[in-house]
Amino acid sequence: MSPEATETAAAGEIKGRSPWALSWHRLRRDRVAMLSLTVIAAILLMAVFAPVVAAVTGHPPNTQYHSAGLTPDGLPRGPNSTFWLGTDDLGRDLLVRIAYGARVSLLVGVAATALAVLVGVVVGLAAGFFGGVIDTILARFVDVVLSFPFLLFAISLVSITGPSLGISILVIGLFSWASVARIVRGQVLSVREREFVEAARSLGASSWRIMVIDILPNVLAPVIVYTSLLIPVVIVTQATLSFLGLGIPPPTADWGGMIATAQNYYTTAWWYILFPGLALLVTTLAFNLFGDGVRDAFDPRARPTLSMRPGRPS
Amino acid sequence: MIRFVVRRTLLGAVVMWLITLLVFGMFFIAPNNVAETLAGKQATPETVALISHRLGLDRPLLEQYGDFLWNALHGNLGYDYYHGQSVTSMLAAAAPVSISLALGAAVIWTLLGVTNGVVSAVRPGSAVDRGLTFFALFFYSMPSFLLGLLLLTVFYYRFTLAGLDWFPAAGYAPLSAGVGEWARHLVLPWIALAMLSAAIYTRLTRGAMLDALGEDYIRTARSKGITERRVVLRHGLRSALTPVVTQLGIDLGTVVGGLVVTETVFGLPGLGKTSVDAINNQDLPVIIGVVLVTSAAVVIASIVVDIAYAVLDPRVRLN
């Protein structure tokens, strides 16, 4: 008797669960993943309610407090009852600016990742499904993009266009899709020879329908895993661009830019570099731990290595 | 085999050519006002035109590209806009700094990563393994510029305050100044650059070792009464090293991005710093030169890895 038949026989008591439900169930039971999800939710709340943080402290993010926020020598003030995490070099409230900075990190992290995944899935699907000349051209193009020193290219491009939020998303997104495309292509190559694709074709389904309805759902699991691991890499890349002065133009608060200015004050104002740095580190760590949980849940056969992780962020 | 090498090299050349097109196109399609910048605020249009002419920027685009490609093939990457210095010699001066930084960091991350990975894999699930896993994720999550600044705060600032003048805040000392002096200037940058990869190699080695230690020949080796140490290091590690070697080849090419950040944080006059300075000045020949040289490093490293892989692993098919 085949396993399917056994299952049908027992179906009276046992509720069938889809692979997605099973993965979700596994993820729910992963305590580290749930804890990091809580941290991510907290950072998200901080970003969404940044204006509330500003209202509670009474300090708008870009207001400079020249007398209350700076020492008589014009240096940042350490944490105190007015400025809970201290002030920056212009006498602005560090806590409020960190809350606003979370908006930039999360927005770029999610938007650039979404762009990369979208482009990568489309290119990977097309290359794997159509094969032949299309595949050769697309695969070579992926090779070129992957062999490009990304950070150099990104900073050159931003130096031409001038830094902005949109440019950051575009540059990071358009240079992160290649690995997604490579993964999807590999999956499509193995799925497209399977019987159910042949069945769909013999029923007269169009290429378009086969790609979207039959193949895409079967290659989604590794894409989801890769997406969750790509977000923290994108956040670090965005912070790196900002650190190099090519992220978000001032006075908008963002963590990389804050750390860049803070490096001139690390001898006099430890809080200035510590708190934005901690915010960035906790965020990427939480996303990475969560991504690990997602991988274990959605791809339990994969051995726990960092080998399929996105390349070095810089 | 020879056919494979030739094919792979030709492919690399095509990739390089595409990169020259991309870089050249990017800078010349974008609005380019370098002549105005150089001429200064009060310059007459004639001065601007003269400067533009002297830099060759008024010639047809295709002609500029042709000249650029021809010269590049002869090892001449042009002259920088501001001092007329040869880009090739600028890059040749900066390269030893970057190579010292990259190779030293590579030694650290390989030794640290492989050791941690082996220790992790010998007792999977143990406290040591879980500790090293967290260590790996921690440094994987740590932006390298942040790590660099933390190192400077502790090992330069705090140590110097405490009277331990061990590490400089910035700068580079060439090997000719003595190995000690050279290493003293590079220790902190090496660590800042190496930890991310050390994290990746820890996990990579752990996975490969776990696979290797589950193989039948390991059981055979054990049943022959060989010491566990020998089983792990001689039999297990040897086969687990193949993916590590592959990764190493790829990383030596792509370490360029890390160089940009590390050299900026530590004020090292290498290729990364040169390129950031050139980008801030819109000094196109220098930017193009750095991008080309570093892309070439990536392309060559990937060719070497593919060939080494084919030589080391007879199962790899050469087409």
- Read off the pLDDT of residues A83-124 as tens digits, 9 standing for 90 and up: 888 888 888 888 999 999 999 999 999 999 999 999 999 999
B207: contact with A, CB 8 A cutoff: yes
B19: contact with A, CB 8 A cutoff: yes
Share of chain B above pLDDT 90, in %: 19
Share of chain A above pLDDT 70, in %: 90
Name the residue among B149, B168, B145, B153 with its Cα closest to residue B262.
B145
Q: Which residues of B touch A149 (CB under 8 A)?
A: 254, 256-257, 291, 294-295, 298
pLDDT(A308) > 50 = no
How buried is residue B200: exposed, middle or buried, by Cβ count under 10 Å (0-12/13-18/19+)?
A: buried
Which amino acid is residue B42, in one-letter code? Answer: Q
In angstroms, the CA B204 to CA B243 distance is 8
B residues 161-200 lying closer than 8 A (beta carbon) to A: 196-197, 199-200
Name the residue among A163, A248, A155 with its Cα closest to residue B276.
A155
In angstroms, the CA A147 to CA A150 distance is 8
Tell me if B193 sits within 8 A of B100, measured CB to CB: no
Among partner residues B203, B208, B260, which is closest to A152 by beta-carbon distance? B260
The CA-based angle A185-A187-A189, given to 5 degrees, is 70
**For B89-316, which CATH superfamily applies?**
MetI-like (1.10.3720.10)
- Read off the pLDDT of residues B91-130 as tens digits, 9 standing for 90 and up: 999 999 999 999 999 999 999 999 999 999 888 888 898 8
Tell me if A238 sits within 8 A of B143, measured CB to CB: no
- Read off the pLDDT of residues A142-179 as tens digits, 9 standing for 90 and up: 877 776 777 777 877 787 778 889 999 998 998 889 88
Q: Which residues of B touch A229 (CB under 8 A)?
A: none
Q: Which residues of B touch A281 (CB under 8 A)?
A: 141-143, 146
Say if the Cβ atoms of A280 and B282 lie within 8 Å.
Answer: no
Say if the Cβ atoms of A305 and B137 lie within 8 Å.
Answer: no
**Predicted complex ipTM:** 0.81
- Read off the pLDDT of residues B176-204 as tens digits, 9 standing for 90 and up: 888 888 888 899 999 999 998 899 889 88
pLDDT(A310) > 60 = no
In angstroms, the CA A99 to CA A277 distance is 13
In angstroms, the CA B137 to CA B206 distance is 13
Distance to chain B for A292, nearest Cα, Å: 9
Say if the Cβ atoms of B149 and A259 lie within 8 Å.
Answer: yes
Extents of the domains making up chain B = 2-73, 89-316
pLDDT(B234) > 50 = yes
Rg over alpha carbons for chain B, rounded to the nearest Å, is 24
In angstroms, the CA B166 to CA B44 distance is 54
